[in-house]
Amino acid sequence: MADVTIRPSKNGPYIVEGPVDLFDTEGNKITVDKPRIALCRCGASSNKPFCDGTHSQIGFQAAEAINPASAE
Ligand code: FES
């Protein structure tokens, strides 16, 4: 298994497990001191890039499947 895994939760955030280096749009490193983080996928979090649970309040509906061809 890879050192880092990213799994979408149903109608919720991406769950990232493993050691990662996370940066903001300015290139500043965001300190991550947890082995597991949740990254917002709905776009409505007030604490981006992290999920703050807002997805459940806005009724976010994620795509049912990931298209592997989109990764190319
Ligand atoms: S996925 Fe949780 S707030 Fe966006």
How confident is the model at residue 72, as a pLDDT? Answer: 66
Q: Could you tell me the distance, in angstroms and rounded to a whole number, from the CA of residue 53 to the centre of ligand 1?
A: 5
| Atom number in ligand 1 closest to CA 42 | 4
How confident is the model at residue 66, as a pLDDT? Answer: 72
For ligand 1, whether the C-beta of 37 sits within 6 Å is: no
Conformation bin of residue 70: beta by default, left when phi > 0, alpha when psi is -120 to 50: alpha
Q: Any idea where the domains of the chain sit in the sequence? A: 5-62
Q: Thinking of the domain 5-62, which architecture would CATH place it in?
A: 3-Layer(aba) Sandwich (3.40)
Beta strands in the chain (DSSP E): 5-8, 14-17, 22-23, 29-30, 36-39
How confident is the model at residue 70, as a pLDDT? Answer: 75
The structure tokens listed for 10 are: 């149903």
- The one-digit pLDDT tens for each residue of the chain (72 residues) are 679 999 999 999 999 999 999 999 999 999 988 999 999 999 999 999 999 999 999 999 998 777 778 776
